[in-house]
Chain A
Amino acid sequence: MLNRLTKLFENNRENLLTVYFTAGYPKLDDTETIICSLAESGANIIEIGIPYSDPLADGPVIQESGMAAIDNGMTLQVLFNQLTDIRTKTQVPLILMGYFNQLLQYGVDKFLDECVKTGIDGLIIPDLPLMEYEQFYKDKLTQRNISISFLITPQTEESRIHKVDALSTGFIYVVSDSSITGMKTGISNQQISYFERIKSLQLRTPQLIGFGISDRESYLTASKYANGAIIGSAFIKHLKDKNEVDNATADFINLILKP
């Protein structure tokens, strides 16, 4: 059975633009505005970050936006409440990104049920071990038709890449470099050869490249070697101190998509 995310990959496998934003940032109630504005401006997939106090895989930009969002009052329940009617507004694929502790405290089953209710298509949980997923959660996600994306990095061994390919049901998140989010910009030759290596493996699951994708140039370069790219920190930075988030969001996407 397809969900909005897997359906997208059925029909379109090129230059897919995924944009990450932190729920509750810059203001608590910006969630729906940002989602709709991103979708209308041409983002293909939207990754909603659940703000966390200790986001180990993220850099300072995303951590600070998360702290601000928590201070604004964002919680997982508030987020699900905000998303109650989102499917009457847009059919863009939505994925949630959060750390495993947040799901554990909310209750994994309850979390997954809320995802179904609100129309979430996929998940990224960077610190959920593959083995634990396979053993305890794979069936739960499959039953609910929720996709999951695991990460690979330049250091991931080939045997493990195939394991990630076998278990990922949305896309594979190709981490572009050895880094946390938002640290580097631009793409080096070394990274290109890593992208080529991954591409040559002809994996079953579509791939999106993220980390260090900050502008039109890096988005287009990354898209040559995968099905598209993910932008996070650069968008969060752009939103900082903006009052009209809908216009700010549209401006940002235009800079990426329009030559």
Chain B
Amino acid sequence: MIQLSENGYYGSFGGAYIPEMLYPNVKELQENYLSMIYADDFQREFYYLLKDYVGRPTPLYLAENLSAKHNVTIYLKREDLCHTGAHKINNTIGQILLAKKLNKKRIIAETGAGQHGVATATVCARMGLECIIYMGAVDIKRQAPNVARMKMLGATVISATSGSQTLKDATNEAIRDWINNPVDTHYIIGSVVGPHPYPDLVARFQSVISEEMKNQLLEATGRENPDLIIACVGGGSNAAGAYYHYLNDLDVRLIAVEAAGEGVYSGKSAATSILGTEGIIHGSRTLLMQTTDGQIVEPHSISAGLDYPGIGPLHAHLITTGRAEAVSVTDENALKAAFELSRIEGIIPALETAHAIHALEDISFKSSDVIVINLSGRGDKDLNTYMEYLDKY
């Protein structure tokens, strides 16, 4: 059984390694999150917003051309069709409702690709709360359309200029903001990372993905369970949502696709499950890329959303216990898969998601298998990058 312990551990991963300044806020969440999010009125509002505002349930689409190419049955869970263009909004809807229950007036968030930033800015606009988004200076440059969207939605975007100026540093800056504003502020973490209860909280909000998959698969194939679920993993929120209701169904293979960057051992990679060792990042004991001296190493991926040196503690547990299989896909192969999916299915995926698509080439399966790929986001935000490779693929 995969289960969270009382202190927030999946096996040996998780916990809350935080400075005292964060303790009251984190403890408040730990003590209240379950009773608050499972209250009847909360659930009603959450599902109402997911339906009429986000556009759920998202389709489970039988990708016939992709299936024919790989000689297997492939369904795409279309999270790219969510309002704002990715699964991230499932979590921000839940967390903004939680922030309201906690009487918080001000919302902060970190963002890498900008998808979580946009999803946070969106729900803040909807709920009338002040919104501050931390984003690495490097990511602000490579994800300009999302920066513009956040601004249009009324959010303040603050450039994280410390360290490597990417997602890790945006997260550091958001945590520091929370330390400086402990009373009126809620921190909406965008992935299944951070101190307990965040990994569990975010996984529960994202679990709507696998909840829908069960019903949709039953209708489409006559059984609830696919043979494989493939999802990309940076921190791992879309994967956590796609796996959630299948975690203890051992007949379902869970495939976690990480970013190999320019090659796992090239020195420019974000394949945390291979390159990482056990340690602490952003308040959680998990696998992370670090030096022998414990300094956190700068990862690399062409996709800003996977450019993170850690991995959520749930995924560290799933991978180290063998429940999930980790696969890594290079920048180049992700680009190739993005163009292929666009050309044969008419769907432009986010660069993050493109890694999951390419994993079809890297794993073995039987032709009778049913595969679900979580299509976590759409590719509009990556058009600048894609256009650079238009002639090549």
Contacts and interface: CB of A to CB of B under 8 A. Distances in A.
Contacts of B217: none
A53 interface: yes
Contacts of B280: 99-101, 104, 127
Contacts, number: 109
A105 B297 CA distance: 14
A54 B281 contact: yes
Interface of A: 52-54, 56-57, 59-60, 63-64, 67, 70, 75-77, 99-106, 126-129, 131-132, 150-153, 155-157, 160, 175, 178-180, 183
Q: How large is the interface on B (under 10, 10 to 19, 20 to 34, 35 or more residues)?
A: 35 or more
B279 A101 contact: yes
B344 interface: no
12 contacts: A53-B295, A54-B168, A57-B19, A57-B21, A77-B293, A101-B17, A105-B292, A106-B293, A106-B294, A129-B17, A156-B24, A178-B179
B294 A104 contact: yes
Given A53-B163, A101-B279, A105-B293, A178 B181 contact: yes
B175 A153 contact: no
Contacts of B18: 56, 127, 129
B284 to A, nearest CB: 11
Contacts of B17: 100-101, 127-129
A155 B24 contact: yes
Contacts of A105: 277, 279, 290-294
B142 to A, nearest CB: 22
A150 B294 CA distance: 22
Interface in B17-39: 17-21, 23-24
A14 B314 CA distance: 49
A205 B182 CA distance: 26
Given A127-B280, A129-B16, A129-B17, A101 B294 contact: yes
Contacts of A56: 18-19, 172, 175-176, 179, 282-283
A127 B279 contact: no
Contacts of A106: 293-294
B180 interface: yes
Nearest to A150: B20
Contacts of B24: 153, 155-157
Contacts of B16: 129
A179 B293 contact: no
Nearest to B169: A54
B15 A155 contact: no
B218 to A, nearest CB: 43
Contact of B20 (A54, A64, A175, A179): A175
A179 B176 CA distance: 8
